Amino acid sequence: MYVGIDIGGREGRTTKIALLQSGHGHLTITAIHEVPPRGDDFIVNFLVERRDVAKGVGIDSPFDLPPCLRCGDADCPGLETCPSGETKMIVDSGRNPYAERLTEIFVSNALDEVRPMQTMALGQIVARTMYLLKRLRSEGFPTVRVREVYPKASLFAFRRALKLPQEDFDRAMRKYKKTEGQEARAYIVDSLSPIIDFSSFGEECEESHDKLDAAVAGLSAYFAVHNLSLPRPEELPSEADWIEIPDWTRIVPSFRAIALKKS
């Protein structure tokens, strides 16, 4: 079983959980659950109850704060002289180490089509996710199975892997999160049919981008568990987070490998 979680903001009213089962070369959605408002304990109990069968969990949210906010040093030397390797790499990229993480920069380098939101722009969602991870560890759930994913990036990776028409797909991606984006979501659901069977939940994913993102989060977790994500860059400091993005060059082996960094 693989689990995808799309974390909602504010009180979490839009949080969705998708369950996927593997077999016959692709995944099948077997359930999509609504999470009640302020449903953090619901999520924790849901996963703990499935601890023995959940092989991978994908959560659509940052797992930690930017390096400047994780730093425990009482005295701050400033960005230009900070000894943190992660901070230095972010500064050298012209970005902000107290607002975003290095992994977000690597993702935007890997896929020209996406630029993740800065971590701190997702403040309450990040806080909820950090709390969930803390509770899961306290309950003995093996959080090594829990992966940070980014459905939008995963969808663009799938477009490359499945050789989908770029113009049509880009048009759908611009609209799929909008209230009136049902046609765009239907296009995405149909396009992903070679790798995921939406079964009776296709219409639900067409009606709700949160449910679609939960399904894609679960699919992304599946590829991460099977070591089919983009490889973690060697230069990424060990303390830095990593977003798992399906490696389109290995999902469809005939695709030519593409370097992580822009040429």
Cβ neighbours for 45, distance < 8 A, ≥ 6 positions apart: none
Residue 69 in any domain: the answer is: no
- In one-letter notation, the amino acid at residue 177 is K
Residue 81 in any domain: the answer is: no
Residue 75 in any domain: the answer is: no
Residue 245 in any domain: the answer is: yes
Residue 86 in any domain: the answer is: no
Containing structural domain, residue 228: 2-64+101-251
Query: Whole-prediction pTM value?
Result: 0.90
Question: What's the total number of domains in the chain?
Answer: 1
Classify 262 as helix, strand or coil: coil
Residue 26 in any domain: the answer is: yes
Residue 45 in any domain: the answer is: yes
Residue 156 in any domain: the answer is: yes
Q: Among all chains, which residue has been given the structure tokens 């993702």?
A: 107
Closest-CA residue to 146 (of 73, 48, 75, 13): 48
pLDDT by residue for the chain (263 residues), tens digit each? Answer: 999 999 987 666 789 999 999 876 678 999 999 998 888 999 999 999 999 999 999 999 999 999 999 887 778 888 888 888 899 999 998 899 999 999 999 888 888 888 888 999 999 999 999 999 999 999 999 999 999 999 999 999 999 999 999 999 999 999 999 989 999 999 999 999 888 899 899 999 999 999 999 999 999 999 999 999 999 988 888 889 999 999 998 876 433 333 333 33
- For the record, the structure tokens of 52 come out as 């023995």
Which residues, listed in sequence order, are joined to residue 3 by a DSSP beta bridge?
Answer: 19, 57
Measured distance CA(78)–CA(68) in Å, rounded: 10
Q: Under the phi-then-psi rule, with left for phi > 0, alpha for psi from -120 to 50, and beta for the rest, what region is 45?
A: alpha
